Amino acid sequence: MRKIIIKQDVYREYDNICSNHNISSLASQKNKENFHQFINGLYQAEGTMGAYFPKENSLSIRFIFSIGQTYSPEALNVFLNLQKVLGLGKIRLEFNSNNQPHIRYIVTNTKDLIFKVLPYFSLLYGQKRKDRIILLKIYELSLEIMASLK
């Protein structure tokens, strides 16, 4: 039998977990290394990063990093751990058109993304590794363009 999801219950659980979250499970170096490998693998499967122009006919560029999961208390704890390890980012609880809950860890601050997030996600491979390199090149080019406009 399919369980009916009530938004209020999900919001209440989400708020409770966020307010009582404890990162002590990552206290040892071994646990930190395991989490680092795990979260790189999760991003490999469920993450995205990119750059976009927020305004037409503008050289202004924005960067974004995101990992999403179907909502569960376990997924929320993982994202809360990542948020505390990196010391940045936001976690959003969203509902799709079928009222299914989804959570997303998001970083949009360019300097945080380039200097904190991307170095932490250093264990990527394949296309995600290439995308990471391309994003860094886009960042470098955007700095060059902005410097040339001054």
Could you tell me the CATH number of the domain that includes residue 19? 3.10.28.10
What contacts 43, CB < 8 A, 6 or more positions away? 67, 121, 124, 128
Q: How far apart are CA 18 and CA 10, in angstroms?
A: 12
Would the pLDDT of 1 be above 50? no
> Could you read off the pLDDT of 90-149 as tens digits, one per residue?
999 999 999 899 999 999 999 999 999 999 999 999 999 999 999 999 999 999 988 888
Structural domain containing residue 24? 7-148
Return the residue matching tokens 């469920």. 46
Query: Does some domain include residue 1?
Result: no
> Could you read off the pLDDT of 35-57 as tens digits, one per residue?
999 999 999 999 999 999 988 88
Query: Does some domain include residue 2?
Result: no
Look at the chain and report how many structural domains it folds into: 1
For residue 121, CA distances in Å to 86, 125, 144 come to: 11, 10, 25
* pLDDT class of 29 with cuts at 50, 70, 90: confident
